[in-house]
Amino acid sequence: MHILDNKTGLLFVENPKVGSTFLRNILYDNYLEGNASASNVDVRKITRANYSVCANKYNFCDFFLKLKMKKDSVQVVMFLRDPLMRLNSAYNDKIKSFSSKESEESKAIFLKLRKRYENFLVQNKVNDQLESFINWCVLPENANPHWDFQYEIAQKALLKPTKLVPLNKMSSFLSHYYTVINRDPINQSKNTTECLISNDLLSELASKKLLNEQEYYEKALLYAK
């Protein structure tokens, strides 16, 4: 999903598991002047006066034709998260359990993916743990935006972000444009100790992708200084 704020010229490239729900709540809560019910609105089904929403991931069509008309005034923003923390969040939130906010349609999709993952564990005789999940999710047939690598999401977005912001700087960045409490919005992942794994425990394929991912994330840290 892309959200273009026509007023500020900010185009947000959604990066799942990196505070995207928080971001949408801030944008729409801000526009609705603090309406508490805004966080329960399915923003994929609406278009506000100040915002243009492209709901179909990686399928932009007319949205980008219009955007080309104003590309010089648009700043493309993407928030990034530590790669292992992000994948750990996807593992716990989409594989180990489901969020109560998930739609029935989303649950059905992830149940199918979970079945594939379970088959992968059996076929490869490996335990259910974070490194197993990473080695499974890098396979092309298991592609899903919630655990696609962040540098690949940026490439699929057909736009090169002009601003990469680490997740713990999200609030401070947004506060320059919106009325938002300047606090760290990072969601605490369940079982965060599972992130304490080393690359030598991962397959060569996953290690290479994680290396690229870490370099991409470090760009955001560098720009944030």
**What residue spans of 7-164 are helical by DSSP H?**
20-31, 62-68, 83-90, 104-124, 130-137, 150-156
Measured CA to CA, the distance from residue 199 to residue 202 in angstroms comes to: 5
Q: What is the pLDDT of residues 157-195, one digit of tens each?
A: 667 788 899 998 888 888 888 776 655 544 554 555 556
Q: What is the pTM of this model?
A: 0.79
pLDDT, position 125: 95
CB neighbours of 152 closer than 8 A, spacing ≥ 6? none
Give me the residue spans of the domains in the chain.
2-82+149-174, 83-147+191-216
Question: pLDDT per residue over 188-201, tens digit each?
Answer: 545 555 566 666 66
pLDDT band at 136 (very low <50, low <70, confident <90, very high): very high
80 in helix, strand or coil? Answer: strand
The reported pLDDT for the residue numbered 162 is: 83
